[in-house]
A and B are shown apart, each in its own frame.
Chain A
Amino acid sequence: LAKTTQPISMDSYEGQEVNITCSHNNIATNDYITWYQQFPSQGPRFIIQGYKTKVTNEVASLFIPADRKSSTLSLPRVSLSDTAVYYCLVGDMTSTNAGKSTFGDGTTLTVKP
Chain B
Amino acid sequence: DTGVSQDPRHKITKRGQNVTFRCDPISEHNRLYWYRQTLGQGPEFLTYFQNEAQLEKSRLLSDRFSAERPKGSFSTLEIQRTEQGDSAMYLCASSSEGARETQYFGPGTRLLVL
Contact = CB atoms under 8 A, between A and B. Distances in A.
Interface of A: 32, 34, 41-46, 49, 85, 87, 93-94, 96, 98-106
B100 A93 contact: yes
Interface stretch (B38-46, B63-71, B73-81): B38-46
Interface of B: 4, 31, 33, 35, 40-45, 47-48, 50, 55-56, 89, 91-93, 95, 97-108, 110
- The majority secondary structure among interface residues of chain B is strand
Given A103-B42, A103-B43, A105-B42, A44 B105 contact: yes
Contacts of A49: 100, 102
Given A42-B107, A43-B93, A94-B98, 10 more contacts: A41-B89, A43-B92, A49-B102, A93-B98, A93-B99, A99-B47, A101-B103, A103-B44, A105-B41, A105-B42
A102 B45 contact: yes
5 contacts: A41-B89, A41-B107, A43-B106, A43-B107, A94-B98
Contacts of A102: 42, 45
B103 A46 contact: yes
B45 A96 contact: no
A94 B50 CA distance: 13
Contacts of A105: 40-42
Contacts of A104: 42
